[in-house]
Amino acid sequence: MVPSIGANWRRGQAILAEAGIESARLETRLMLEHVGGYRYNDLLMHPEKRLEASEQEQFELLLGRRAAGEPLAYLVGEAEFRGRVFQVSPEVLIPRPETEVLIELALEKLHGLVAPTVIDLGTGSGIVAISLALECAAAKVSALDLSPGALAVASNNAGRLGAKIDFYEGDWFTPLAGRQFDMIVSNPPYVAEGDPHLELNGLPHEPRMALTDQELGGDGLACIRRIVADAAAHLNPGGWLLFEHGYDQGEASRNLLTAAGFKAASTFPDLAGIDRVSGAHL
């Protein structure tokens, strides 16, 4: 007999807790909701209900994959960011709250501009471009990525959430010859290849090319160097460049911006007080 959802919840929580997953109770609940189409109140009010046999089989599969370290967002196919649900897949990074700093800064700089143009480089699932398009209605937003799979996810998210965005496929500025914008934003790969953190916390399941520049022996700044070097040619006078980076890359980022002729290079912390975004203007 298929166990009740209450029994599944308790057993799943125990399995994930034993695997070292701190939010075992919440994640088991989310998997049950996903496979059975339940709401939270269903689980609380009717724990005696049972999954269908096929749903139980799917739950067991997801439980095993999560216990083995695969991120929950990939198992259920979605993640929340700024109050919106974005679809995700192993083609894109899982949205992280730290990236909200980039969006808040961009919105601040865009405030008061008439019909500003924005390009999001390395858009991934589209969280930055879509958030800006929806929260700054005056902006005309474009997004670019090298990965066709990532662009498919981002385009689908834009359609689902009602954001009008022009998408481009290619390597950084290559598809943008002759184009200029009022703002360039990016959350580029910035983890140094070989950094031991790449093997922790589910990162082995996320797309490597979105995490690291894959430059052996490098410092993780190769993509940032390229963006900063080429950005001025694609910015209107007074235009802003803002990009996310690692906790220890603020000083190097400011130096790159200043050397490239940008003004007022600054680094901004996330909510944890960690250097997270650097930027400057022409």
119 and 241, same domain (yes or no):
yes
Q: Where are the alpha helices (DSSP H) in 165-206?
A: none
CA distance 94 to 225: 24
- Residue 276 in domain: yes
On the CB side of 161, how many CA atoms lie within 13 Å of its CA?
28
Domain-embedded: residue 74: no
Identify whether residues 100 and 222 lie together within a single domain.
Answer: yes
Residues 161 and 205 in one domain: yes
Residues 104 and 186 grouped into a single domain: yes
- 27-33-39-45 Cα dihedral, nearest 10 degrees: -80
Q: 159 is in which domain, residue-wise?
A: 93-281
Element at 129 (helix H, strand E): helix 127-135
Structural domain total, the chain: 2
Shared domain check, 48 and 128: no
CA distance 137 to 88: 24
Question: What local confidence, expressed as pLDDT, does residue 164 receive?
Answer: 96
In the chain (282 residues long), the average pLDDT of successive 10-residue segments reads 87 94 93 87 83 93 94 94 95 94 96 94 97 96 96 97 96 92 96 81 85 84 96 96 95 96 95 94 95
pLDDT of residue 48: 86
Asked if residue 249 is part of any domain, the answer here is yes
DSSP 192: P
139-148 tens-digit pLDDT: 999 999 999 9
Pair 202, 266 in one domain: yes
Rounded CA-CA distance 120/100 in Å is 14
Same-domain pairing of 188 and 220: yes
The pLDDT value recorded for residue 214 is 80
3-state secondary structure of 33: helix
Could you tell me if 65 and 76 are in contact, meaning their C-beta atoms sit under 8 angstroms apart?
A: no
Residue pointed to by tokens 């005309």: 140
Domain assignment of residue 184, yes or no: yes
Same domain membership, residue 53 and residue 102:
no
Q: Which two tokens stand for residue 86?
A: 């974005």
Same domain, 120 and 218: yes
